[in-house]
Amino acid sequence: MNKVRKLFYSKKVAPYVFVCPFILSFMFFWIYPLISTGMMSFQDITPTGTDWIGFNNYKKLVKDTVFHTAILNSFEYMALTLVLLIPFPMLFAVLIDSRLVKAKGFWKACLYVPALTSVVISGTLFRLMFSEYPTGQMNMLTSALGLGTFKWLKMKATGLSALLIVCCWRWTGVNMLYFISGLKAIDTSLYESADIDGASAWQKFRYVTVPLLKPTIIYVITISVYAGLSMFMESYMLWAGPDSPNNIGLTIVGYLYKRGITKNQLGYGSAVGIVLLVIALAINMVQLIMNGTFKKEED
């Protein structure tokens, strides 16, 4: 018993004991599903059995125009969320962290509360808000302005705008808290030195805040790329299912669900999932390399 106790209290063994739960969960919930999905993508899976078909699923994806539409929609959504969910949360974080804003805790809570709301509830509310009927809040607003009513979720531009509004409503507060955490790590003496040198508020933001927030910015970009490409529930709830007019709300994950679950084509759906993983990894690796994440620091 004493030997076992000494073993667990050993400085060499203890770190592995604490890391072991993470390694086991990582292997069980990530490595195993990844390997299983990779194998399934080379198979034709039916209720009666499975057949090994090689790269046939991937060859079909190359010619699948609906899949191409899903990729284009996901890329548009991802790019626009990066444009909206990087600068604006950063600006809100800087304002809340400054002396200009009072009741900081209140504003943090107001911006963060939407993230705590169920996506099912928020998606349903926004679907009713963007309803094509005159009773929809957006149509009531446009009617009051004399612009008439619109079929918001049946047009490409307005449908994408609705998705972006849902996204910004839910995640602006989350990204803002990331940036606030990054701001807390900046030494205030740097701002004091900038004040002594006569730097304006913009110059302090441009030459002090932004460079020192670079690690936080890279992190937010990384998770935003993944979140943008893997978006599903917002679209599903906004159009009340995986189908939308002319596939204007179809995403890669939505197409995976449609083929893999709805049509019971698990092999084809697995191929879609592997392609999504490769695309997300490729984009994030490129942006991490461009941001100098893997560069060795000079002594």
In this prediction, residue 99 carries a pLDDT of 80
Which structure tokens are listed for 141?
Answer: 């607003």
- Which neighbouring-strand residues pair with 52? 43
Residue 107 CA to residue 22 CA, distance in Å, equals: 35
Question: Which residues neighbour 51 within 8 Å (Cβ) at sequence distance 6 or greater?
Answer: 43, 44
Which structure tokens are listed for 31?
Answer: 């490595």
49-52 vs 43-46, strand pairing mode: antiparallel
pLDDT tens-digit map of 185-239: 888 888 888 888 888 888 888 888 999 999 999 999 999 999 999 999 989 999 9
> Is the pLDDT confidence value at 62 over 70?
yes
pTM, to two decimals: 0.86
* 3-class DSSP state of 155: coil
- Alpha carbon distances (Å) from 238 to 2, 96, 115, 141, 229: 61, 32, 17, 19, 17
* pLDDT above 90 coverage of the chain, percent: 38
pLDDT tens-digit map of 134-176: 888 899 998 998 888 888 998 889 999 999 999 999 999 999 9
